[in-house]
Structure 1
Amino acid sequence: MATGRTHRPATRSRGIPEATVARLPLYLRALTALSERSVPTVSSEELAAAAGVNSAKLRKDFSYLGSYGTRGVGYDVEYLVYQISRELGLTQDWPVVIVGIGNLGAALANYGGFASRGFRVAALIDADPAMAGKPVAGIPVQHTDELEKIITENGVSIGVIATPAGAAQQVCDRLVAAGVTSILNFAPTVLTVPDGVDVRKVDLSIELQILAFHEQRKAGEEPGQEAESAEAAAAATAPAVPATTAATAPVTRAGGGGSAEGGRQQGPDGDVPAVMPA
């Protein structure tokens, strides 16, 4: 059986843009839903709507795959499922290890979507000795002391980090040293990796913060708007300054005492104001 270590997707060698690669899973999800309903063909407009992109962008993306569809008929659903799956490397088995079996790690272990896309959870790893041997999703948890051995024996090239932030970099370093070249990081921290190692970061709290930003805008509450409103209200209720105060106040000349008539002081040339009224 082929493993992730011996074969990597050909997307980069074929010059497919990263933005297109990021959209391929969206197309595949929409196509899989059509296939499950036994839909034989689909137009670019229908598929684009299902994937949440515009049809021109979809056609451009598919041109990188060498798939142009048939005018008046559309795209063959089953063939596109195969074509995109092959391009994404999903026609083979990808053993994956999940490190950090807390609430999030356990939820990931129980997620059925991995297996249906060709990702086999080969091992669950945790630093807590009390977790060792406990089954999660039918897989016994193993201690981090076994990490390198597990990676080697299972031919793992994809690792998932679901540890606390403080432990993530050390786990990452050990995964990379053991031969892992792709990492999905759920820890709320930025990982440093050498060239040749790909990292994808998933931070749910950041996504929620972005949604909060948009919700605030929908409510019409700009940042600092409340403070600005308070300042405006205070200015409106402040006692007015008599208009004659500034006009009649004496102005000290730069060269000595006295006042400038009309609130202006003449400079050396007789026409440049040197000191403005207070």
Structure 2
Amino acid sequence: MPGLHPVGDPVRHIPPASVARLTIYLRALNTLLGEGIERVSSEELADAAGVNSPMLRKDLSYLGSYGTRGVGYDVQYLNRQISIALGLTLDWRVAIIGAGNLGRALAGYSGFVSRGFEIVALFDADQLVVGAEVGYLRVSAVDDLETVLERTRTNMAVLSVPGSVAQELCDRLVAAGISSILSFAPVVLQVPSHVQLRKVDMSTELQILAYHAQRAQEPDLGPISRAQ
């Protein structure tokens, strides 16, 4: 199909904001596939993703994709190309460190597999929790972290632990060769430059949400009244 890289072609560097939007386009494309839709225009896909069509076309241009004027995008092919660009066609084997409520919920989420992520290990430091079954996984002792990571061929990890132990466990993950880490710990972690670290801070997101909710409830007094 003209304008799209064939499988295996290198993709240019994609800006972080565009990467984030590619995940939204992929979700919209998966919905379209589920509805049996084979082609979609840039306007339709942009509307489904909540962006404008020029932004969508700019984001997709990083994949070499411009669609076909008057025809639009082949949904299945574009879905595949975005998946390749995001690395979702690779074998991602994920370990979750921390088998508390959040860790258990993540381990039991069935949607990861369909998106290319297999949860292969779950760890905890509490001996009352170690050995318990969570779905198809048995909780391993965090003391055995390195051994289990090697045995399960883990290449990605999720930290769902208290802040007091997060850096120590992060350091152990890095030393064990894990270079992709998602952290839910309420602290700022230090990692080497070659390690990709993503942080999910729910309290910060709630604070931002509260700000926007407050703004939405304020009466629109106009620029003059606000200045008084």
TM-score with structure 2 setting the length: 0.89
CA contact (8 A) 1:100 1:125 kept: yes
Q: Report the secondary structure of 1:131's partner residue.
A: coil
Q: Using the alignment, how far apart are the partners of 2:9 and 2:38 within structure 1?
A: 26
In the TM superposition, residue 19 of structure 1 has moved relative to its aligned partner by 1.7
Which stretch of the first structure deviates more once superposed, 185-194 or 147-156?
Answer: 147-156
**Structure 1: runs of 5+ lacking an equivalent:** 1-9, 222-278
Q: Report the secondary structure of 2:139's partner residue.
A: strand
CA contact (8 A) 2:11 2:62 kept: no
Q: Report the secondary structure of 1:129's partner residue.
A: coil
Counterpart of 1:18? 16
Counterpart of 2:76? 78
Q: Given the alignment, which residue of 15, 26, 29 partners 1:28?
A: 26
Q: Using the alignment, how far apart are the partners of 2:9 and 2:115 within structure 1?
A: 18
Query: What stretches of structure 1 move > 4 A for 4+ residues in a row?
Result: 10-13
- Corresponding residue pairs, total: 212
Q: Using the alignment, how far apart are the partners of 2:217 and 2:117 within structure 1?
A: 42
Q: Using the alignment, how far apart are the partners of 2:47 and 2:176 within structure 1?
A: 42
Equivalent runs, 1:224-243 vs 2, <5 Å: none
Counterpart of 1:64? 62
RMSD (Å), alpha carbons:
1.7
In the TM superposition, residue 215 of structure 1 has moved relative to its aligned partner by 2.1
Q: Report the secondary structure of 1:130's partner residue.
A: coil
Q: Using the alignment, how far apart are the partners of 2:135 and 2:187 within structure 1?
A: 27
Q: Report the secondary structure of 2:185's partner residue.
A: coil
Counterpart of 1:170? 168
Counterpart of 1:191? 189
Between structure 1 and structure 2, the one with the greater Rg is 1
Counterpart of 1:54? 52
Q: Given the alignment, which residue of 85, 108, 113 partners 1:110?
A: 108
CA contact (8 A) 1:11 1:88 kept: no
Counterpart of 1:213? 211
* Partner deviation per Cα, 1:76-96 (whole Å, 9 max, x = no partner): 000011111111111122100
Q: Using the alignment, how far apart are the partners of 2:151 and 2:204 within structure 1?
A: 36
Structure 1 pair 155–138 and aligned structure 2 pair: CA distance change class (3 A): closer
AA partner of residue 129 (structure 1): Q
In the TM superposition, residue 219 of structure 1 has moved relative to its aligned partner by 3.0
More RCO (CA 8 Å, sep 6+): 2
Counterpart of 1:242? none
CA contact (8 A) 2:123 2:145 kept: yes
Identity %: 58
Which stretch of the first structure deviates more once superposed, 129-138 or 100-109?
Answer: 129-138
CA contact (8 A) 2:40 2:75 kept: yes
Q: Report the secondary structure of 1:98's partner residue.
A: strand
Q: Using the alignment, how far apart are the partners of 1:92 and 1:13 within structure 2?
A: 15
